[in-house]
Structure 1
Amino acid sequence: MFVLPHYIPYVTGIMTIISISKLLLTFLSLLLLRTLVQRWRQPAALPPGPKGLPLIGNILDMPTEKEWLTFARWGEKWGDITSVNVFGQTLIILNSAKVATEMLEKKSSIYSDRPTLQMGGELVGWKNALVFIPYGDRFRRFRRYIHQAMGNNGAVSQYLPLEEIEAHRFLRRVLDEPEDLSLHIRKMSGAIILRITHGYETRWNDDPLVELADKVLEQFSLATVPGAFMVDLIPALCHVPSWFPGAGFQKLAASWSAGLSGMVERPYTFVKRQMSDGIAPISFASTLLETESLSNEEELDIKWSALSLYAGGFDTTVSTIYALFLAMTLYPDVLKKAQAEIDAMVGNDRLPTFSDRDELPYVNALVKEVHRWNVVVPSSIPHRVTQDDVHAGYFIPKGSLVITNIWKMTRNPAVYPDPERFDPSRFISSEGGIVQPDPLEVCFGFGRRICPGILLADASLFISCATSLAVFDISKCVVDGVVVEPKHENTSGTLSHPKPFKCSIKPRSHKAASLIKIDENY
C-alpha cells in the first residue's frame, strides 16, 4: 500500500496559506488599479455617502443587522440616492420610491440583472432560483411559467377555493391551540403553496416538507444579506478549504446546501411519482411536466421554477399574517372597526369569502396597511447595473449593486404621515381627503424583478384577515394581573419577521366557535 509521507499535510497547508496570501495581494493590487481607472474615466461624481478608507472602502460602515435602518440614516443625511464602496464594489442605496421607479422601471433594460452572491448563490445553491437568475432568456422563461399560473386575477381565481379551505383549517387549529399561532400560520402557508406548486397535501399535524421549508428559508434569509459574509465581498475566498482558519462559512454553506437540495428534490420527486401512478392532481409542476420529451435543461427549469414559487410564497405569507395578529393586538380600535364592517356586510351566520371582498373596503385597507407596516423584504434583493449610467447628475457605474430600501419608502412621513402608527384609514378617501399611495406598488419590488406572486400573496392575506377577524377577538395577554405589552420588532435578514409575541385569541361568541367547527372536513 502506498502511504503519503507524514509531512505532506503540513506542506500542503503552508502552500495553501502562501497561495491565499498571494491571491489576496493580487486582489488588492488589481482593486487599487481598477479604482484609479474608474475614477479617471467616470463622467460624473458618484452619489454621496459616508467617506471610506483606501482599498477597503466602507467595509467598517456596513451594518451587521437590520441594515435598512442604517441605510435610512444615510438617506436622511445624504439624500435619496447614496453610495458606498466595499472592496471596489459600488453599492447604490435608494431611499425613495420615486427614484426607484425612475431607475428600476423606466430604465429596466439596464437595471434588471442580479449580482452573483458567492455565499447564498454559488456555495449554498440559490443561484438557480428565480430571485437570483441573471436577466436573460432563462429569467424570462421562469417568469412566463409563473405568470401563466398566477400572473392575473383570472389565473389566481382557480386557487381561491383552496385558500378558503386552508383558512378554515387555520381557524380550527387556532381555536384548539391559540398559543401556537406562529406554527398554525406556517402550516396554512405551507399547505397552500405546496398544493399549488406540487399538488402536495400537507399533514394536519407535523409535516416534513413544511418543516424543511421553514428551516431552509431561514437559512436563505441569513445567507443572502448583502455583505453578511466576507466571501461575498472577496469572491476568491470561495476557493479557501473548509479546514482553513476563518473558513467556517464553507461548512455552513455545505450544510445549508444539503437542506436546499432536499427542498428542491423531495416535492419534485413526489410530483413525478404521482404522475407515474396516474393520480397527480393538477399543479404548477405537473402541468409543466405534461410536455413530452423534456430535455434535462427543461426539467431543471421546471424543478427550480416550482421551487422559486414555493420558496417565494411560503415565508413571505407567514410574516404578513403574523404581523396582522400583532397589529390587531396593538390596535384594538382597528380590530373593532373591521369586525363591525364584517358583521354589517357579511353577517354572523357564515364566514367571509372572496365574493365579499368588494363589500369590505375597510378590511381591504387593513390588508394594505399590513403590507406597509410590516415589510417582509425590507432592503430588497439587490439589482445589478449592466452598463454605466448617469442619473440625477450622479454616475452609476456598470456592475453597481442597487439596493432599494423598501422599509424607508414605507416609513417616509412625507408620504405616510405618522408612519409607525397602524392606520388603515390612510387608504380610504373621506370628504375629498387624499388617499395615500398603495404600498403594494413598493413592497413587492420594482421593474422586471417585481415579485410575480403579488396577487396570490394579497389574496392569502385578505382571506386570513377577513375570516380571522370575523370569529376571533385578539387582545393583549394578562399574566398574573399584569398586561403583557407586545412590541413591533422585526428579525434581521433578507426575509424579516415580527419577533415572537404573546396575545390572547378567543372566539367572539359561541356562535363564532360553532362556525369554525361547522364542517369537520376542515
Structure 2
Amino acid sequence: MLESFHTLLILVLGAIGLYYYIAKKQSRGRLPPGPKGLPIIGNLIDVPIEQEWETYAEWGRKWGGIFHISLMGQSMIIVNSVNVMDEFDRQGANYSDRPVLQMGGELVGFKNLLGLMQYGPIFRAYRKHFSRFVGSQKGIHLLHPIIEEETHKFLKRTSENSSAGKLIGNLRKLAGGIILQVTYGYKVKDGQDDFVNLIEKSNENLSTALTPGAFLVDVFPWLKYMPEGLPGTSFLKLAREWRKTTEATANLPYAYAESQMAAGTASASFVSTGLEDSEASYSPEYLHNLKWTAASLYAGGADTTVSTESAFFLAMVLYPEVQKKAQAEIDAVVGSDRLPTLADMPHLPYLNAIMTELLRWHTVAPLGIPHAAVEDGYINGYFIPKGAVIVANLWKMLHDPETYPEPFKFDPERHLGPTPQRNVREICFGFGRRICPGMLLAETSVYSCIIKSLAVFNIEKALDSDGIPITPVHQTANGLLCFPKPYECAIKPRSEKAYSLITEL
C-alpha cells in the first residue's frame, strides 16, 4: 500500500514538474500554431500510427506550412512547406542534431549509424569518410564498372525469372551486389548470400524499430530500466536479439575486408582505401568510425534504392506512354547493338527526367529522419525550443499541387523545357547538414537499373487467370522507409536482339 502511494506521489510530482517545464518553454516566445492537445499528454492520441504524412498534410491546410504538436511534453515541429524548410536549411547549424531514439537508437544500437547519430565530432568524422569516397562525381565515376557489372547480372536474373515475386528479390540482390562490393570489396554469391541476408534482416529491424508508435519506450524512456520479464517489457528481449544482428552487420563484412587485405587479395573498396590512405596508426577510434561508416553506407543505401527501383517498374506499368518515349530515346541515341551505359547519361535528357520524376512521385522516406534543435531559435517569427523535434513532411512538399501540378501523375515532362518545376533533389534528400551523403551513389545505381532495363525489357501489366490485364495501384506500406505495396507485372525482352544482349553478358 505504501509502495503504491509513493508511486502515485512520484507520478503527480512528475506531472507538475512537466507542466511548469512546458510553461517555462512557452514563455520564451510564441510557438507555431497547432491542434490543441490534452493536459500532460498533449496530442499523443491525435497522432496516427500509419500514413502520418497524410494527416500532417491535412492539418497543414488549417495550421499552415509549420505547426506545433506536443507529445508528453516533447515539442514537435511539423514542416509542410518547402519555403519553411529552406529557412531551417539556412540555420542548419542549429537544426542538425537528432532526437534520442530509445528503441532503435539506444537499445538496438543503430545510434552508431550516421543517419541516427547525434551531431558532433564523430558525426563529422563519418561525413569525412563518406565525402572522400562517394561525395563527388569523380569518386562515383570510379565506381561505374561495379555498378554496371551488377546491373548486367540483374538483367540476366530477371530475364530468367521475371515473376513479380522474384523482382523484389532481384532488386535486393542488385543493391546488395553494388553496395557490398563498393563498401567491402565483397562479391555477392548467386542464390542465397549470407551477407545479403544478414544485412536485410538488420534493415528490417531498423525499419520496424524506427516506426513511430511501434514501441512505448520511445514515448516513456524510463521503461528501458524496467526488469525484463515484467508485463509490457517484451521489447527488451527483442532489442537484445536485434542488437546482436546490428553488431554482426557492422562486424562481419568489415572482418571480411580486413582478412582480404591481410591476404593481399583485397580489391579497392571503401574499407580498404580507408585503411590504406590513413597516415594514423589506426587508433581504436579511427577503426570504430570507419567500421560504422561502412555499415551506414549499406544501411542508408540498400532499402532506399530497392524501394525506388520497385517504384520505377510500377510506374512503367501504369504509364506505358512514358516507357515508349524513353525506349525511343535510347534507340535513337544508343542504337540496338549495345546496352546503354552510364557514359550515355548526358545524352539522354528524357531518361534523366524519368529519374528526377521517380524521386518525386515515390517518396521513399515521407517524413525523412527527424532533426532536433541544438539551442532555442526562431523560424519565421516562431519560437523553436531547444530539443524540439523537427519533422519535415517531404511527401507533402513533393506532392504539393502549387509546386507540382497534378502531383500524383508520373510526368517526366515537368522537369524538361525552359521552365522546369522545382528540382526535387532540393527536397527529397533532406536538408541542412544532415542531407543524405550517399545520394550520388544511390542515384547512379538507380539510373543504371533504369536505362538498362528499358533498353532490353518491355514492362507491362500482368494478366489474371482469365487473360484480363491487372492494373496495379501506387500505394505504399507504412514505415520510416516506404516500399510500394506488392503488385503484379510482366517483364519480357523487347526483341531477340535485346535478349541476346542480356545472355551475352
* TM norm structure 2: 0.96
Q: Are the counterparts in 2 of residues 52 and 85 from structure 1 also a CA contact under 8 Å? A: yes
Paired residue for 1:119? 103
- Residues 1:244 and 2:230 are matched in the alignment: yes
Match of 2:289, SS?
Answer: helix
Paired residue for 1:498? 484
- Residues 1:463 and 2:451 are matched in the alignment: no
Match of 1:61, SS?
Answer: coil
Identity %: 46
Paired with 2:149 and 2:135, the residues of 1 have a C-alpha distance of: 22
Q: How do 1:358-369 residues align onto structure 2 when only pairs under 5 Å count?
A: 358-369=346-357
Paired with 1:362 and 1:241, the residues of 2 have a C-alpha distance of: 59
The structure 2 residue matched to 1:307, chosen from 266, 289, 295, is: 295
Q: How do 1:221-240 residues align onto structure 2 when only pairs under 5 Å count?
A: 221-240=207-226
Paired residue for 1:403? 391
Paired residue for 2:324? 336
- Residues 1:32 and 2:16 are matched in the alignment: no
Deviation at 1:406, TM superposition (A): 0.4
Paired residue for 1:316? 304
Paired with 1:67 and 1:18, the residues of 2 have a C-alpha distance of: 38
Deviation at 1:24, TM superposition (A): 4.4
Q: What amino acid is aligned across from residue 176 of structure 1 in structure 2?
A: E
Deviation at 1:210, TM superposition (A): 1.0
Paired residue for 2:59? 74
Q: How do 1:44-443 residues align onto structure 2 when only pairs under 5 Å count?
A: 45-103=30-88, 105-179=89-163, 180-290=166-276, 291=278, 293-429=281-417, 432=418, 434-443=419-428
RMSD, aligned CA? 1.7
Q: Deviations over 1:322-378 (max 9, x none)?
A: 110000011101000000100111001100001111110000000111110111111
Deviation at 1:36, TM superposition (A): 2.5
Q: Are the counterparts in 2 of residues 124 and 254 from structure 1 also a CA contact under 8 Å? A: yes
Q: Are the counterparts in 1 of residues 159 and 493 from structure 2 also a CA contact under 8 Å? A: yes
Paired with 1:287 and 1:18, the residues of 2 have a C-alpha distance of: 61
Deviation at 1:512, TM superposition (A): 0.5
Q: Deviations over 1:475-511 (max 9, x none)?
A: 1111122221211111111111111111000000011
Q: What amino acid is aligned across from residue 93 of structure 2 in structure 1?
A: S
Q: Are the counterparts in 1 of residues 363 and 395 from structure 2 also a CA contact under 8 Å? A: yes
Deviation at 1:132, TM superposition (A): 1.4
Paired with 2:78 and 2:196, the residues of 1 have a C-alpha distance of: 35
Paired with 2:416 and 2:430, the residues of 1 have a C-alpha distance of: 23
Paired with 2:86 and 2:6, the residues of 1 have a C-alpha distance of: 45
Paired with 2:5 and 2:287, the residues of 1 have a C-alpha distance of: 43
Higher mean C-alpha deviation, range 235-244 or range 89-98:
235-244
Q: Are the counterparts in 2 of residues 129 and 308 from structure 1 also a CA contact under 8 Å? A: yes
Q: Are the counterparts in 2 of residues 62 and 227 from structure 1 also a CA contact under 8 Å? A: no
Higher mean C-alpha deviation, range 343-352 or range 220-229:
220-229
* TM norm structure 1: 0.93
Higher mean C-alpha deviation, range 58-67 or range 26-35:
26-35
Number of matched residues? 500
Paired with 1:439 and 1:491, the residues of 2 have a C-alpha distance of: 22
Match of 1:259, SS?
Answer: helix
Paired with 2:293 and 2:113, the residues of 1 have a C-alpha distance of: 7
Paired residue for 1:5? none
Paired with 1:278 and 1:30, the residues of 2 have a C-alpha distance of: 62
Deviation at 1:38, TM superposition (A): 2.0
Paired with 1:226 and 1:383, the residues of 2 have a C-alpha distance of: 14
Paired with 1:245 and 1:118, the residues of 2 have a C-alpha distance of: 19
Higher mean C-alpha deviation, range 377-386 or range 218-227:
218-227
Match of 2:311, SS?
Answer: helix
Match of 1:70, SS?
Answer: helix
Q: For residues 268 and 346 of structure 1, do their structure 2 counterparts lie closer, same or farther at Cα, with a shift above 3 Å needed?
A: same
Paired with 2:7 and 2:410, the residues of 1 have a C-alpha distance of: 52
Match of 1:60, SS?
Answer: coil
Higher mean C-alpha deviation, range 284-293 or range 54-63:
284-293
Match of 2:281, SS?
Answer: coil
Paired with 1:348 and 1:442, the residues of 2 have a C-alpha distance of: 36
Paired with 2:224 and 2:108, the residues of 1 have a C-alpha distance of: 11
Paired with 1:195 and 1:267, the residues of 2 have a C-alpha distance of: 10
Deviation at 1:37, TM superposition (A): 2.1
Paired with 1:162 and 1:252, the residues of 2 have a C-alpha distance of: 37
Q: For residues 369 and 313 of structure 1, do their structure 2 counterparts lie closer, same or farther at Cα, with a shift above 3 Å needed?
A: same
Paired with 2:301 and 2:398, the residues of 1 have a C-alpha distance of: 21
Deviation at 1:208, TM superposition (A): 1.2
